[in-house]
């Protein structure tokens, strides 16, 4: 089955459906897919699986999940058994689904001939013949209707009973709880306040509709079902780990381990041991055999973060794993075979490192079978910044058990104009701070952003020639300022700064040395 996702079709294959629940076993409807809700799964694939289970549980021939597009006053089919068309839209109040969304009460119909609520144009469009229909509203935690759950044609030619209505209402409550845990629900809420940007989403917990991200979504959708090695490149804080997880959980290894190794967080002397493990007696204190990350991830995925920090001797051993899927533990001679997929990430220029002799050329070409370059937040545009900001506002309020505050126009404008050297991670931390400190509405003064980033009005030609706009700062200077800003925020604590920046202490020490600062304290 194929679903249109605002220009990008998705065609993911989930695991085979387990034994379907009996119609009376409502509590089991979401059980087999509930574990997918909080993961970076393709949301269309998740919803499609959900509708499959609901149709079987209700003994119906077809099912449809309708969602409300408040900007247009329409319902659109987000997941449905509609092989004839990609999507259907109806006006609020139009047809059974539109009526249920408008008035908020269930509707069950059997005799459809001459029924004013039945919108026969859909049957004419699809060529499908509806003989019975049951629809119930989807409500969020505040009781607001944001969609409709509908099933068509009771199997065996019967009608949907009052018990069926109660059952589907109970299922709708479960579905709503599941949906409110995804980024799709936040996107629907965002669309109320940002009507010029249509509802859109691809992967749960990955927010963005810019052209650059849509291109990346397509790459992930192509790469994920394979075992191809993937290299993710981009600045710190732009979401490399989220996309690495998306590659894993949307592929055939989704139910196997996803094991992360952060090369920047480990001393060079320990990285080999971390990856490959060691034998008893390999070094002082090695009193028993310890498996490494590759063994722990057997049949799953190893995510090697900051692969540019990998020492040259270990690079050769990793190359052997990529070529032959085998290695020896530290201090051992026994060859260990593993079946793993490797996803790597870096913010370094590996091609330049190859030219400088700091990274093996053969390893470089082995890990970039599929190369995905993530854009910095500043290049993704104001709409993506707004989508992310509203998502982080809702997430932070929920996490800290606070009433969700409004985001003022002035604060939103400031967020859109800032350069975000720390990318999405910096935006998330900024918004979280504002949510905690504000009182019902996030104002510009609640945003912990440096005033130096503001565009200073040019008052004379001399001023214009003497002071270039902050937006033209070299990337290295932007990075230096951000690192020093974080270091100042944690009162000089190097360990805390490295953790906030998500880089290793050694990497931070090297950068501080480049800035003329010692690694003391």
Residue 128 to residues 47, 124, 150, 281, 378, Cα–Cα distance (Å):
22, 7, 15, 71, 47
pLDDT in tens, 413-454: 999 999 999 999 999 999 999 999 999 999 999 999 987 554
**Beta carbons of 77 and 199 less than 8 angstroms apart:** no
The pLDDT value recorded for residue 174 is 86
Q: Which CATH architecture has domain 469-514?
A: Orthogonal Bundle (1.10)
Q: In what order do the strands lie in the sheet with 145-154?
A: 89-91, 74-80, 60-69, 145-154, 133-139, 107-109
Homologous superfamily of 211-373? P-loop containing nucleotide triphosphate hydrolases (3.40.50.300)
pLDDT per residue of the chain (521 residues) written in tens, 0 to 9: 333 232 333 333 333 333 434 444 555 555 455 555 555 566 777 788 888 889 998 999 999 999 988 777 888 888 777 766 667 888 999 999 999 999 999 999 987 887 889 888 888 888 888 999 999 999 998 899 999 999 999 998 888 999 999 999 999 998 888 888 787 787 787 777 666 665 665 666 788 888 888 889 889 989 999 999 999 999 999 999 999 988 998 888 888 899 999 998 888 778 888 899 888 888 877 788 888 899 999 999 999 999 999 999 899 999 999 999 999 888 888 889 999 999 999 999 999 999 999 999 999 999 999 999 999 999 999 989 998 998 899 889 988 999 989 999 999 999 999 999 999 999 999 999 999 999 999 999 999 998 755 443 433 333 333 444 444 566 777 787 788 888 877 777 888 888 888 888 878 887 777 666 654 44
Going by C-alpha positions, the residue among 322, 304, 287, 57 that lies closest to residue 170 is 57
Residue 471 to residues 224, 268, 378, 453, 456, Cα–Cα distance (Å):
36, 36, 10, 8, 11
Residue 86: CB atoms within 10 A of its CB come to: 13
The pLDDT value recorded for residue 85 is 66
The pLDDT value recorded for residue 195 is 64
Q: How many residues does the chain have?
A: 521
Which residue's entry shows tokens 């899927």?
Answer: 325
**Beta carbons of 135 and 115 less than 8 angstroms apart:** no
pLDDT in tens, 330-348: 888 888 999 999 999 999 9
Does pTM surpass 0.75? no
With left for phi above 0 and alpha for psi between -120 and 50, is residue 93 left, alpha or beta?
left
CA 330 remoteness from chain centre: 36
Beta 341-346 vs 230-233: how paired, if at all? parallel
| Distance (Å, whole) CA 30 – CA 503 | 39
**Beta carbons of 345 and 304 less than 8 angstroms apart:** yes
| Distance (Å, whole) CA 487 – CA 475 | 18
The pLDDT value recorded for residue 21 is 42
Q: Any bridge partners for residue 149, and if so which?
A: 65, 136
Classify domain 377-449 at the CATH class level.
mainly alpha
The pLDDT value recorded for residue 96 is 93
The pLDDT value recorded for residue 332 is 86
The yes or no reply on domain 26-193 and CATH 3.30.450.40 is yes
Domain boundaries, given as residue ranges, for the chain:
26-193, 211-373, 377-449, 469-514
């Amino acid at each position: 089955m194929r679903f249109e996702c605002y220009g990008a079709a998705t065609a993911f294959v989930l695991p085979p459906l387990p034994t379907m629940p009996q119609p009376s076993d409502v509590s089991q409807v979401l059980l087999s897919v509930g574990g997918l809700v909080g993961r970076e799964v393709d949301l269309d694939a998740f919803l499609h699986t959900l509708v499959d289970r609901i149709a079987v549980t209700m003994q119906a021939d077809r099912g449809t999940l309708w969602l409300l597009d408040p900007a247009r006053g329409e319902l659109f089919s987000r997941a449905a058994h509609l092989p004839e068309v990609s999507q259907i839209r109806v006006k609020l109040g139009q047809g059974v689904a539109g009526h249920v969304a408008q008035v908020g009460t269930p509707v069950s119909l059997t005799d459809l001939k001459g029924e004013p609520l039945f919108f026969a144009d859909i049957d004419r469009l699809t060529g499908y013949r509806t003989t019975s229909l049951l629809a119930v509203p989807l409500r969020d935690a505040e009781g607001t209707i944001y969609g409709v759950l509908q099933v068509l044609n009771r199997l065996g030619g019967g009608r949907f009973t009052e018990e069926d209505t109660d059952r589907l209402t109970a299922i709708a409550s479960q579905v709503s709880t599941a949906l409110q845990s995804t980024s799709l629900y936040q996107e629907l809420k965002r669309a109320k306040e940002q009507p010029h940007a249509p509802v859109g989403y691809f992967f749960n917990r990955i927010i963005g509709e810019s052209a650059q991200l849509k291109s990346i979504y397509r790459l992930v959708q192509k790469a994920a079902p394979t075992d191809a090695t993937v290299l993710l490149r981009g600045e710190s804080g732009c979401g490399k780990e989220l996309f690495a997880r998306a590659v894993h959980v949307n592929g055939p290894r989704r139910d196997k381990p996803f094991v992360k190794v952060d090369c920047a967080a480990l001393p060079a002397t320990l990285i080999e041991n971390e990856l490959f493990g060691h034998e008893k007696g390999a070094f002082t204190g090695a009193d028993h055999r310890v498996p490494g990350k590759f063994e722990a991830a057997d049949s799953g995925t190893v995510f090697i973060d900051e692969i540019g920090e990998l020492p040259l001797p270990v690079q050769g051993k990793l190359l052997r794993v990529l070529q032959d899927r085998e290695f020896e533990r530290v201090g051992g001679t026994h060859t260990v075979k593993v079946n793993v997929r490797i996803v790597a990430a870096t913010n370094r220029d590996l091609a330049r490192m190859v030219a400088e002799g700091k990274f093996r050329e053969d390893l470089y070409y082995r890990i970039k079978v599929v190369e995905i370059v993530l854009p910095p937040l500043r290049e993704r545009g104001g709409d993506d910044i707004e989508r992310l900001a509203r998502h982080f506002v809702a997430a932070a309020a929920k996490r800290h058990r606070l009433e969700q505050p409004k985001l003022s126009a002035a604060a939103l404008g400031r967020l859109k104009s800032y350069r975000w050297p720390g990318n999405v991670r910096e935006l998330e931390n900024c918004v979280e701070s504002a949510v905690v400190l504000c009182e019902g509405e996030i104002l510009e003064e609640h945003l912990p952003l440096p005033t130096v980033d503001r565009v200073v009005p040019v008052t004379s030609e001399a001023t214009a020639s003497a002071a270039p706009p902050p937006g033209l700062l070299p990337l290295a200077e932007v990075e230096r300022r951000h690192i020093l800003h974080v270091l100042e925020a944690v009162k000089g604590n190097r360990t805390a700064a490295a953790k906030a920046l998500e880089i290793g202490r050694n990497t931070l020490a090297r950068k501080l040395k480049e800035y003329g600062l010692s690694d003391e304290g």
